Structure 1
Amino acid sequence: MKNFEEQEDDNNEIRLTTPLLQNTTRIDASTSHAPSPARDENSPIEQVALTVPVTDDPNIPVVTFRMWTLGTLACILLSFLNQFFWYRREPLSITAISAQIAVVPLGHLMAATITNRVFFSGKKYQFTLNPGPFNMKEHVLITIFANSGAGNPYAIHIVSAVKIFYGKTLTFWVSLIVVVTTQVLGFGWAGIFRRYLVEPAAMWWPQNLVQVSLFRALHEKEVRTKGSLTRNEFFLIAFICSFTYYVLPGYLFPMLTSLSWICWMFPKSVLAQQIGSGLHGLGVGAIGFDWSSISSYLGSPLASPWFATANIAVGYGLVTYVITPLAYWFNVYEAKRFPIFSDDLFTATGQSYNTSAIVDSNFHFDSDAYEKEGEIYLSIFFAMSYGVSFACLTATVVHVFVFHGRELWRLSKSAFQEKKMDVHSKLMRQYKQVPEWWFTCILVINILATLFVCEYYKSQLQLPWWAFLLACALAFFFTLPIGVITATTNQMPTLNVITEYIIGYLYPGYPVANMCFKVYGHISVKQGIAFLQDFKLGHYMKIPPRSMFMAQVCGTLVSALVHLGTSWWLMDTVPNICERALLSPSSPWTCPSDHVFYDASVIWGLIGPRRIFGDLGYYNSINWFFLAGALAPILVWLLHKAFPSQNWITLITTPVLLGATINMPPATSVNYNSWIIIAFLSGFVAYRYHHNWWARHNYVLSGALDAGLAFMGVLLYVSLDMEGVSLDWWGSKSDGCTLASCPTAAGIVVDGCPII
């Protein structure tokens, strides 16, 4: 095999000429049924052409004993750790990249020590536990298996809300069925839309390039030129730095998560702290030096294309620094009675709302008690976040129709015909594809199983059969437009708000039904997108589709069981988990995402949108955001037609721009500030002015930062947190903005706040 080389042409563009694996031969007509790509043929997407090799060896063993052993182990560990850390104040998201790195020495160890004896030699069913050196393809399949445990099942929020916040009964087995069906239902949508979202070269899935780059760094041999580092050496140095550094924000100096310096300058000013707090305010000037907070909600900033970063920055600035301050200081919706940024629910006097008082003994809305307690109020940022969620939804549909409608129509007409393929699709044609009926069977079985559990356990889930079918229809309709946005921008619009809005109108007063409808309508789409992203990773790395499908199904089932088991264990063993009023100020078990999920179930499910956003509601004017979101892509399209020479206009992606703050709350301003800065330095400065460095090291750096953080985070918890060892000094506090959550309306009395 040739060593990895990067050849520069006269335009300083890098052309990758390495084979995919050691001892790999190029595919030609004698070894493959796939069309032979031309020697210089490559992807039309530059980032893909710079990162993904265009060669393959179909004879490399993929489904091996090592793959099953290490894939299952990695999936179990990732599922446990991610669910364990999800309940903490700053959720530590341990990605599949950590498993991707950790299994390498184990794979080589198994290859060196396990017998290579062939069992049942000469028989049709002969096999061996050790088919040879640990190779990249089985490593990719292990990572795809493990990736099933990298994302937390959204349905577990239902379990947390019912058991912890509502204090009602939800059995383990009903919970397991809901978690499994919501996770696996996405396979149906993935199977239907894979021809649109995997095969076309334009659907390039930027996040996958991080893993592709890391696979190559871990397996390919490089010749180190004088004065430079190989990618392996660069990864090792970055990993050690990340691992060592996380001791500071993770234990010694937690304030590095959010340095809100304006609060330090004005320790007694509510206004200054509202403006400057990175955790409880607008975050002007606030910045964090903690990779876990930087990458926890928006993903790695190093994997974001620059045009997507610019859209996010503009959208974030518009909502956080224009719309929210204007609405607050003009006292829209009595905003000054409440914090400027909060995910809590309030009474008219600025106190926390007692939601348990409006739930009757049948776990249903008590209208008489609601009249007595009074209306629910939101912080102005929380209210605006719902508005931009409405706008993002309609913008997603209109944007895809206007800018990608012709291409999607062409693909629809040629779906069953031979069509032009890029080099990677040509190479994948040699493998047996996953039959459409496999996906159809999974879809039908899941629908039937869910209908059964909804009817048989209606007292616990509250969800009628017709509502589940409606959720499936919404998921089917939105998977394609959301998939197009995700595959091209690395940012995924979500359906969580519109799903709870719809069922809240159709079936108000039943909070569990609302949560279940949201999970089936929203998460089946999200899971389908995740499966499609893994399919694209396998597409880039030339993994047989049937092997990939098998690993995804098995990994999803294992992950669902481990995630739910871990969650159940924590809820039974951690005192007062998620109960902020009962926890000590230094407790990490504050469950930020579960609080937002619970609050949403109260707003949309228990009370219902009609009493909040409808004709009976205080916030009904927010519905105008639906119209604004639908008009925004049309305006951009008209600008493009009016000024066709201005190419930058086509880079305005309104769903990403309008949905920039869709993670806030629980995400805070400091998460966005730091993310945008690093994404700018990577996607614009390094990509434009240090292109060769970016091509070699950008994605490797992202993987190293993730891995170093994950390993040190686990080590700190096991060695210090579990032993109760903690520090108590100025640097171990939050951002020091204790007044940022105070109201500024006259006469509102809140503990710890000055009275205006």
Structure 2
Amino acid sequence: MANRASSELSLDETKLRSTDESTSTEDVPKKSEYVSEKKNPSTTPSLDSGDDEEKIEQVAEEDGLPVVVREIVSLEDNPEDVNITFRFFTLSVIFSVLGAFVTQLSWFRTTSAPFSILFVQVATHWLGHWMAKILPSWRIGFGKFSFSLNPGPFSLKEHVLITLCVASGSQNNLGEIAIATADIFFDRVYNPAAAIFFMISAITLSYSFACIARNFLIYEPEFIFPQALMQTQLFRTLRKDTFDKSAASWQLKIFAIVAVSIYLWEFLPEFVFPLLSSLAVICWFAPHNATAKFVGSGLGGMGFLNFSLDWANLSNSTGSVYLMPWWTQVVYFTSFVVTMWIIVPIIHFKGLWNADIIPIFSQALWTLDGKPYNVTNIISIPSYTFNATAYEIQGPVRISPYYMLTIFASYTSYISVFVYIVLFAGPKLVATFKLLLKRDSRASRNDRLSQIMSKYPEVPFLWWAILFVLSFVTVLVTIIEGGFGVPIWTFIIAVLFGAISVVPMGYIFAVSNYQVQVGVFNELLFGYMAPGLHPTVSLFYRCLAAETWYRAQSILLDMKLGHYMMIPPRLVFFSQVFGTFLGSPVNYAVIRWVVATKRPYLDGTMTDPNGQYSGQQAKSYYTSSTQYGLIGPKILFADSTYTPLLYGFLVGAIVPVIMYALHRAFPRAKFELWNATIFFGGMSNWFGNLSTGPLSSIIGGFFCQFYLFRYRHEIWRKYNYLVGSALDTGFNLAVLVKLITET
């Protein structure tokens, strides 16, 4: 069942006949050989027609790789390429610092996109070649401790390693959910050294979780990691010297045209015509009707028949119209329709769950009569613990109906992933575990890529063990000395849960490019283990129990990219860890600066006139931490209002079983693609402030991942990931310019 579930990733991707005959079956080269397997155009069949059904039904078995991988990943490798150079360190530092600044700043904003690694790929390509031309070939240092400023041409491996390093260093940091929330809502500023070391060690702890999952997910060809494929194609396009130069030249022109066009376009919805961000058709016909505004608005409404021409909204709504497989986009959009177009209007118009007195899309806490809940009144000072007497006086806390729905879906999503992976992927993972008993699981696999990679030494287990021990000890010290308040024994539970979760969650990400966000469950667990503590304590626990394995998925993605680009695993390990140490201090500095300058907008005392600094993520963490960390689920769920939320666990356990039974009964109906984890994960996403985009996204996804993939496959193969990376590059350049002008 696992083979079937993971092989039908995007409209039967593994049932397409390969259009690239470059993957020869000659013996694995020796370490010093240059492997060059060129494409033979005369033997390459064209799929650029509307008559591809028979070709789609043919299984590609040559080389043991899924066809979508064979079409994009080149099996050319030059082990002698330069890798860690002065250029590597220079460009890695510059872009990691820049990326950490932009991404952390975006965490506080309403509409934003993360710092695009695709932009980094393009920028470092040109800068790397420029540095190779202008830098002198001087040697700095003495003997073994010397290096050359310019060791030669800018190599492909050097380029990939820079990208991997920046990908690690340019992300926002895990610790922000506790450190920023404590500062915004409780005026608690932790020791800077303790905060920074906690942020770094929490991420390096993620590498230990990635180590657990890498042999299950990285070296197994069926787990394709769509984003890694997109980045691989962009590398090939930029490195036009590695394949057909005329085709590469044309692809570079397409990339440049698309990137410049979207860069210029994004200034229209942002500054000139904001209407383009939310085309509310219903509101056009009844502009002054409150019901029409609620139904049709994409800003604080249902977003029914709401279109968007802003790439920020399209890319945020599903992740990526050109990257996510079609089946994933269908499941995700279905969850949006069920949530926002069916359940939400029923709740709103029927007044369910106090919708008649509490704003349905609020992320704040409320009293029984619909007034803002004063959390500080139920915290005992100076112990910062729960004051039960004050809670009885002020009354039970209430949250918005839509917030309750997202919590229910989060519980359901978390449980469903474990049931789903046992039913659909269990045999595959068991077989992979048996391979781990062999000395080198890469060499024992039959696919061509793993055999080529087996000539590079693996990262020794000792490296992972040392990193884990250092991370574990550092977290312990920061917890104790930093005043974070996390009980030590709960930290050990957090590590165990992270280790258990990383493979199931990584599996979903590897086949769908969808990352499940289920940190609420971990706060629930902490609330049962250690209730009544300061709200931010549960957030520190959440960083360790949930956000670490979430970051591990990104680490696995970069490992897969290194695998596709045939980068030695030890160099991948070094570049990722090095990037982590670059980004975390910048993340902390940005957190302190934004909170100091935007506090009234973030805590809700004032409204940002531009609607950008809403701090909606911080508010969400503040609410959940108060519920689970301070009040505690034992008190919370004693209230009949919240009791139905616990049925989410039962639903999450039952739905995958139903899908599996239907799949066994009707194997051609593809019930295995209706992934309950993705469906309920989509329901748990917060669309309350921004519901514009999903409708436009599914239309774009239909064109890219259904029509082009099935009926114009040659066009899809050449341009889908290329155009997608150009869109992200141009858009993120526009975001970067906007952020710089704002700051």
TM-score, normalised with respect to structure 1: 0.87
* Deviation, structure 1 residue 677: 2.5
Once the 2 structures are TM-superposed, how far is the Cα of residue 89 of structure 1 from its aligned partner? 2.4
Return the alpha-carbon distance in structure 2 between the equivalents of residues 442 and 339 of structure 1.
Answer: 47
Q: How does 1:545-624 map to 2 (within 5 A)?
A: 545-574=569-598, 576-586=600-610, 588-612=612-636, 614-616=637-639, 618-624=641-647
2:192 counterpart (154, 164, 172): 172
Quick one: distance in 2 between partners of 1:477 and 1:690?
41
Match status 1:714 vs 2:736: yes
Q: 2:537 aligns with which of 505, 508, 513?
A: 513
Q: In the alignment, what sits opposite 2:9?
A: none
Shift of 1:74: 0.8
- Which residue of structure 2 aligns with residue 442 of structure 1? 467
User: Which residue does 1:634 correspond to in 2?
Assistant: 657
TM-score normalized with structure 2 length: 0.89
Using the TM superposition, give the Cα deviation of residue 245 of structure 1 relative to its aligned residue in structure 2, in angstroms.
Answer: 0.4
Counting only pairs closer than 5 Å after superposition, residues 284-363 of structure 1 correspond to structure 2 as 284-296=304-316, 298-362=318-382, 363=384
How far residue 376 of structure 1 moved from its aligned partner, in angstroms, is 2.0
**Aligned position for 2:105:** 84
Deviation at 1:12, TM superposition (A): 9.2
- State which of 630, 639, 660 in structure 1 corresponds to 2:682: 660
Shift of 1:554: 0.8
Deviates more, 1:438-447 or 1:533-542: 438-447
- Aligned counterpart, 2:566: 542
Distance 1:175 1:29, change over 3 A: closer
**Aligned amino acid, residue 96 of structure 1:** I
Q: Structure 1, residues 268-315: CA drift from partner, whole Å, max 9, x if none?
A: 433222221212121101122111222236422210011111111222
Question: Is the 1:274–1:340 contact (alpha carbons within 8 Å) kept by the matching residues of 2?
Answer: no
Superposed displacement of residue 673, structure 1: 2.8
Opposite residue 64 of structure 1, the aligned amino acid is: T
2:385 match: secondary structure: coil
Q: Distance in 2 between matches of 1:164 and 1:539?
A: 42
Aligned positions of 1:26-65 closer than 5 A = 29-31=29-31, 41-42=62-63, 44-65=65-86
Partners in 2 of 1:636 and 1:306 — Cα distance? 19
Question: Is residue 464 of structure 1 aligned with residue 487 of structure 2?
Answer: yes
Question: Which structure 2 residues correspond to residues 56-455 of structure 1 after superposition, within 5 A?
Answer: 56-117=77-138, 127-221=147-241, 230-296=250-316, 298-362=318-382, 363-417=384-438, 419-455=444-480
Which secondary structure state, in structure 1, belongs to the residue aligned with residue 641 of structure 2?
coil
- How many Å apart are 1:175 and its aligned residue? 1.5
Residue number in structure 2 paired with 1:522: 546
**Change in 2 beyond 3 A, CA 1:508/1:120:** closer
C-alpha contact (below 8 Å) 1:603/1:609 kept by paired residues: yes
CA distance in 2, matches of 1:617, 1:515: 25
Q: 1:662 to 1:421 in 2, by over 3 A?
A: farther
C-alpha distance in structure 1 between counterparts of 2:284 and 2:372, whole Å: 27
Deviation at 1:131, TM superposition (A): 2.0
Unpaired segments of 5 or more residues in structure 2?
1-14, 40-60
Q: State how far apart, in whole Å, the 2-side matches of 1:19 and 1:76 are.
A: 38
**AA at the equivalent of 2:609:** P
Q: Tell me the amino acid that sits aligned with residue 189 of structure 1.
A: F
The 8 Å contact of residues 593 and 666 in structure 1, kept in 2 or not, is answered as no
Q: Mean alpha-carbon deviation: is it higher for 336-345 or for 274-283?
A: 336-345
The corresponding residue for 1:741 is none
Distance 2:472 2:682 in 1: 33
Whether the aligned pair in 2 keeps the contact of 1:281 and 1:340 (CA below 8 Å) is no
1:552 Cα deviation after fit: 0.5
CA contact (8 A) 2:23 2:37 kept: no
Does the 8 Å CA contact 2:317/2:697 hold for their aligned counterparts?
no
Q: Which letter maps to 2:352?
A: V
Distance 1:190 1:701 in 2: 30
Q: How far apart, CA to CA, are the structure 2 residues paired with 1:514 and 1:665?
A: 24
For 1:206 and 1:569, how far apart are their aligned partners in 2? 35
**Counterpart of 1:589 in structure 2: which amino acid?**
Y
C-alpha separation in 1, matches of 2:461 and 2:425: 25
For residue 186 of structure 1, report the CA deviation from its aligned partner: 0.5
**What percentage of residue pairs aligned between the two structures are identical?**
27
Task: Give the equivalent residue in structure 1 for 2:715.
Answer: 693
Offset of residue 225 of structure 1? 7.2
The 3 A distance-change label for structure 1 pair 461 and 12 is closer
- 1:485, distance to aligned residue in structure 2 (A): 0.7
| Letter paired with 1:423 | R
8 Å contact 1:242–1:709 — kept in the other structure? yes
CA distance in 1, matches of 2:36, 2:249: 34
**Letter paired with 2:610:** S
Shift of 1:615: 2.3
Task: State how far apart, in whole Å, the 2-side matches of 1:243 and 1:169 are.
Answer: 38
Number of the residue aligned with 1:734:
none
SS of residue paired to 1:424: helix
Contact 1:97 1:706 in 2 (8 A): yes
Structure-2 change in CA distance of 1:611 and 1:254 (3 Å): farther
**How many angstroms does 1:34 deviate by?**
12
- Shift of residue 158, structure 1, vs aligned partner: 1.2
CA deviations 1:353-396 (Å, max 9, x no partner) are 22233223232222222222222222222111111111111110
Q: Is contact 2:601-2:608 (8 Å) kept?
A: no
Q: Distance in 1 between matches of 2:375 and 2:691?
A: 28
Asked whether the equivalents of residues 396 and 482 of structure 1 are also in contact (C-alpha less than 8 Å), the reply is yes
The 1:629/1:35 distance shift into structure 2, 3 A limit, reads farther
Return the offset for 1:487: 0.5
Matched AA of 1:338:
I
Shift of the 34–666 alpha-carbon distance from structure 1 to 2, 3 Å rule, reads farther
1:532 aligns with 2:590: no
CA deviation string 1:504-561 (max 9, x = no partner)? 1221222121111111001110121111111000000011111111110010111111
Q: Output the CA distance in 1 between the equivalents of 2:136 and 2:583.
A: 30
1:718 CA displacement:
3.3
Q: How many pairs align?
A: 700
Cα deviation per residue 1:8-67 (whole Å; 9 max; x = unaligned)?
Answer: xxx9955335699xxxxx985454599999999445322212211122111111111111
Q: Which moved more, 1:236-245 or 1:688-697?
A: 688-697
Provide the C-alpha distance between the structure 2 equivalents of 1:365 and 1:263, rounded to a whole number of angstroms: 46
Give the distance between the partners of 2:639 and 2:398, measured in 1 at CA: 14
AA aligned opposite 2:394: E
SS at match of 2:169: coil
Asked whether the 8 Å contact 1:34–1:428 carries over to 2, the reply is: no
- C-alpha distance in 1 between matches for 2:683 and 2:158: 38
The CA RMSD over aligned residues, in Å, is 2.7
In 2, Cα distance between equivalents of 1:658 and 1:392:
5
Cα distance change of structure 1 residues 410 and 33 upon mapping to structure 2, 3 Å threshold? farther
Does the aligned pair in 2 maintain the 1:463–1:512 contact within 8 Å? no
Q: CA deviation at 1:244?
A: 0.8
Q: Give the aligned partner of residue 754 of structure 1.
A: none
Report the Cα offset of residue 409 of structure 1: 1.2
Per the TM alignment, residue 405 of structure 1 is displaced from its structure 2 partner at its CA by 0.7
Distance 1:411 1:184 in 2: 25
**Distance across 2 between alignment mates of 1:269 and 1:115:** 69
Residues 495 and 34 of structure 1: is their aligned pair in 2 closer, same or farther, counting only changes over 3 Å? farther
Q: Does residue 680 of structure 1 match 2:702?
A: yes
Q: Which residue of 1 aligns with 2:12?
A: none
Measure the CA separation in 2 of the matches of 1:603 and 1:353. 12
Q: CA deviation at 1:238?
A: 0.3
Code of the residue aligned with 1:394 in structure 2: it is: I
1:716 maps to a residue whose letter is K
